[in-house]
Chain A
Amino acid sequence: MEQLRDPKISPTKKTFPVKGMHCASCVIVIERALQKVEGVQSATVNLATEKATVAYDPQVVTDLKLAAAVSQVGYQALLDEGIKSVDSAGLPQVDVEKKRKLAELGSLKKKVVVSLFLGGLVAWGSFPGLMDTAPMALQIFWVQFLLTLPVQFWAAFDFYRATISSLRHRTANMDTLVTIGTSVAFLYSTLVTFFPESVKSIGIEPMPYFDTAAIIIGLILLGRYFEAKAKAGTSEAIQKLMGLAPKTARVIRGGKEIDIPIEQVVIGDLIRVRPGEKIPVDGVITEGESSLDESMVTGESIPVEKTKGDAVVGATINKTGTFTFQATKVGEGTLLAQIIKLVQEAQGSKAPIQRIADLISSYFVPIVLMLAIATFVVWYDFGTQPVLLFALLNTVAVLIIACPCAMGLATPTAIMVGTGKGAEHGILIKDAESLETAHKINTIIFDKTGTLTKGQPEVTDVIPFQNWKAEEILQIAASLEKGSEHSLGAAVVQEAEEEKLILGRAEKFRAIPGHGVEGLVDGQKVSFGNRKLMDQLQVNWQPHNGDMERLETDGKTVMMLSIDGGFAGLIAVADVLKDSAREGVAALKKLQIEPVMITGDNERTARAIAAKVGIARVLAEVLPDQKELEVRKIQAEGKVVAMVGDGINDAPALAAADVGIAMGSGTDVAMEAADITLINKDLKSVAATVILSRKTMWTIKTNLFWAFGYNIILIPVAMGILYPFFHILLNPIFASVAMAGSSISVVSNSLFLKRQKIW
């Protein structure tokens, strides 16, 4: 166990009651669980008092962590302080953060309004063309000076502060450029205001540029305001996910239903859920049935019917019935918590495409500073009269127009929106690199069982012979198979149950491995199995061989039924295709992606199934451990390959593929093995993943194009490169408009991704 990291910090001790203990081994279990929490120095549990005492590093350990640790092992810690992390005002941490952000935005807004209002007045009194309409007072230089003063030193205070601390660390950023640019304009104007004669003496008309300083600050702050608002939108998806978690659960304890905070729910708790309520944690239904809306977690839009024994997912909504379920995962173990963690991790990762932008932005500001000095020198040495004025204004324009922020925002904002949008549709992307690679995929290999098919055999055909009816055949076979454990038998029983057939009484049941089953059903001697079994019993099945071969060519397993020695009929069972299989494959073909099917089945069955979904390339009779090799063989053809499997049995193949996609599973193992996890079972989401990746990459590329193109084109314009040819110069005020606009356009472009269709 890790000991306390900082010797300067003394540990905090806390004693709290623990519920659910009944023996000495509970004590050890809870002590161990608490000691495993990072930052906990010691933990002792007293069975007699039912209390735990923990010494821990308060900077690392929260009540929530302690309560979660106890809950994970099946007990309940009653921490009297709020379980959630709260601030002094008693607000949860998420709300505190929101409050802080709102306050920040409010103060920024105030600065924008004041700067633009004062800057507007100054511009009215000094801008050629406008000034004639302005009151005389506004045209007085020192009035303009007084009006600009609060803008320069109050509204722009944060620019100065950031610049000073940057310079102290020998780094430079956006604020450095704005501070130097506006300070140059402000200082020159102050000089003109207080020493007009000195300026006149060097041949320059004494004209201040207070409007430039004030309006630039106002516009840049306005740009920041919009940027901050837009940026908040890029992380909306994760906030939405966090907001999904319910706050309370109705737990049945001691025969009574009580509402408790979600954090106090422990594994094993029985929880009652009524119609319209949210399911608090993950679990398994023990009583009742209902229809559940799981769209918020899995992206699956159609409500799912659930009954006793089915798994339910926390944060989904119970629509119709009332049911009771047993909690199997709580706290950080729930699917929702894992989704949030995965999305957060993806948003913290970096796409390879960002490397170049990062490299450039780390040198960008110093380079712009050098270019600004060069601009001053060149204009001073070779410019038109008055050289000093032109040199100053163009230098300011260069400093103001340069926008490293747009480059820095180009990739991460798109990745944040992309991964968030994915999560909303049940597409969980492990990291930015996977999202980037997915747009290059041109071949997708599907594992058959459980991915293209449902993974559970179902009865597909019931063919009666002689005077038997299909229902009777099914009813008799199911009555016999009731006692069998074979998956094919289970399929027959399930079909009979679905048909609401009343099963008869089976006696003397006997399973004959490799052949089938036999026994007595309601007094009749019944045998159900393959050709070998029928041959052994000398049942004449040969006249129906044509029917059997036809079914087998369709990829089905055929079983024969004989009743009292007579051939009564056939029942065919097959692992049926998912409803979405055909559409999912067709969607990929539309994207010019070649679908491939990989399976252990024999060639005839495999081809039959592949043909049904529209897959031409089939890799049949592949043993599970050879799948990885097959993936590598296709990669060797120069293809960018994605492998779609269940994530548990296919882990090596998923890892070998360029992008490993685990389907229909929210288990830790699958999420760990795959680059992308699709938590719904809809095969169309494979194509949606590729579309999402392509659209995200398009957004990143357009963002980078704008951000780079903007700086590459406009910095030389601001330097005055067009002046010798067209007499075009960039007014610093317009430079600030362009600069503010460039960051906003990049963030807006990323936000536009939210509205794009991927499904």
Chain B
Amino acid sequence: MDQILVTLIGLLGISFTYWYFLGKREKTVVAGDAIDIVVEGGYSPDVISVKQGKLTRLNFLRRDTNSCLEEVVLPDFKIRKTLPLNQKVTVEIIPKQAGQYSFSCGMGMYHGKIIVSDGAAPGKNIPN
């Protein structure tokens, strides 16, 4: 009897885990000239829509002490930045081509996405 109960709870647990972590719906936030991204247990917002060819400032503010998040990497823009705790770090991008470009923490555990509308490989970045 208890085995059936444990099995049922286990299955529910597995389903819940799947739904909770992998069934997440993405919420896209449109960035104007600049957008503040809070780095705490991930990136919020984590899906950012920007305009092609326009300079956009991504202001990262890390509030999470987890060392995994201490770097942010935007590989398509060739940017790797250290994010000191509670200090705003601005990353400037001018995407030259439309498309989706991911960004992540230094170890690739936390992810975010930049969706470039109107127009593909990203262009030059302006280093800070």
The tally of residues in B whose CB lies under 8 Å from a CB in A reads 54
**Contact of A357 with B108 in the complex, beta carbons under 8 Å:** yes
Q: What separation, in Å, do the CA atoms of A471 and B11 have in the docked complex?
A: 96
User: Is B52 part of the contact surface with A, judged by Cβ < 8 Å?
Assistant: no
For residue A365, which residues in chain B have a CB less than 8 angstroms away from its CB?
21, 109
Residues of B contacting A228 in the complex (Cβ-Cβ under 8 angstroms): 67
Cβ B33 vs Cβ A6 within 8 A? yes
A174 within 8 Å of B by Cβ?
Answer: yes
B22 touches A404 (CB 8 A): no
Over the window 56-77 of chain B, the binary record of Cβ atoms lying under 8 Å from chain A Cβ atoms (1 yes, 0 no) is 0101000111111000011111
CA distance A170 to B88 in the complex (A): 24
Q: CB-CB contacts of B6-37 with A at 8 A, as 1s and 0s?
A: 11001101100110111010000000111000
Contacts known (A166-B42, A381-B3); A38 close to B73, Cβ less than 8 A: no
Interfacial residues of chain A within 1-39, with CB under 8 A of chain B in the complex: 2, 5-6, 38
Q: Could you say which residues of chain B place their CB within 8 Å of the CB of A162? A: 41, 64-66, 68
Q: Does A374 contact B (CB under 8 A)?
A: yes
The reply to whether A2 and B17 contact each other, CB–CB distance below 8 Å, is no
The yes or no answer to A745 lying at the interface (CB within 8 A) is no
The number of A-B residue pairs with CB atoms under 8 Å apart is: 143
Interface: A408 (CB within 8 A): yes
A62 → B minimal CB distance (Å): 9
CB atoms of A2 and B108 under 8 A apart: no
Question: Do A174 and B75 touch (CB < 8 A)?
Answer: no
B1 to chain A, nearest CB (A): 12
> With A161-B65, A162-B41, A344-B80 as given contacts, are A412 and B106 in contact (CB-CB < 8 Å)?
yes
Q: A173-B68, A358-B108, A408-B107 are in contact. Are A167 and B41 (CB under 8 A)?
A: yes
- On chain A, the residues within 8 Å of B110 by CB distance are 171, 173
Interface band, chain A: 35 or more
A259 to B3 alpha-carbon distance, docked (Å):
82
Contact A366 B22 (CB under 8 A): yes
- CB atoms of B78 and A348 under 8 A apart: yes
Which residues on B sit within 8 Å (CB–CB) of A547?
Answer: none
Asked if B17 contacts A373 (CB within 8 A), the reply is yes
Q: Write the nearest CB–CB distance from B63 to chain A, whole angstroms.
A: 8
B residues in contact with A97, CB < 8 Å: 82, 84
A370 within 8 A of B: yes
Within 8 Å of chain A (Cβ to Cβ): is B126? Answer: yes
CA distance A354 to B32 in the complex (A): 31
A698 in the interface (beta carbon within 8 A): no
Q: How far is the CA of A166 from the CA of B79 in the complex (A)?
A: 24
CB <8 Å contact, B10 and A366? no
Instruction: Tell me whether A100 and B84 are in contact in the complex, defined as CB-CB below 8 angstroms, given that A5-B33, A5-B57, A405-B107 are known contacts.
Output: yes
- Inter-subunit contact A348/B67 (CB<8 Å): no
CB pair A169 B65 closer than 8 Å? no
Asked if A46 lies at the interface with its beta carbon under 8 angstroms from chain B, I say: no
Please determine whether B7 and A431 come into contact, CB atoms closer than 8 angstroms.
no
Contact A354 B108 (CB under 8 A): yes
B48 to chain A, nearest CB (A): 14
Residue in A165, A345, A358 whose Cβ sees the most chain B Cβ within 10 Å: A165
CB distance from A355 to the nearest CB of B (A): 10
Closest to B65 in A: A158
**When the two chains form the complex, which single residue of A171, A346, A380, A412 contacts B42, counting CB atoms closer than 8 Å?**
A171
Taking the closest CB of chain B, its distance from the CB of A451, in whole angstroms, is 27
A477 to B24, CA, bound (A): 83
Where the two chains meet, the residues of B that have a C-beta atom closer than 8 Å to any C-beta of A are 3, 6-7, 10-11, 13-14, 17-18, 20-22, 24, 32-34, 40-42, 44, 46, 55, 57, 59, 63-68, 73-82, 84-85, 88, 90, 92, 104, 106-111, 126-127
Q: With A59-B90, A170-B20, A173-B109 given, can you name 14 additional A-B contacts, CB distance below 8 Å? A: A5-B32, A6-B34, A97-B84, A162-B65, A173-B66, A358-B104, A363-B22, A369-B21, A373-B10, A377-B7, A377-B10, A380-B6, A405-B107, A408-B107
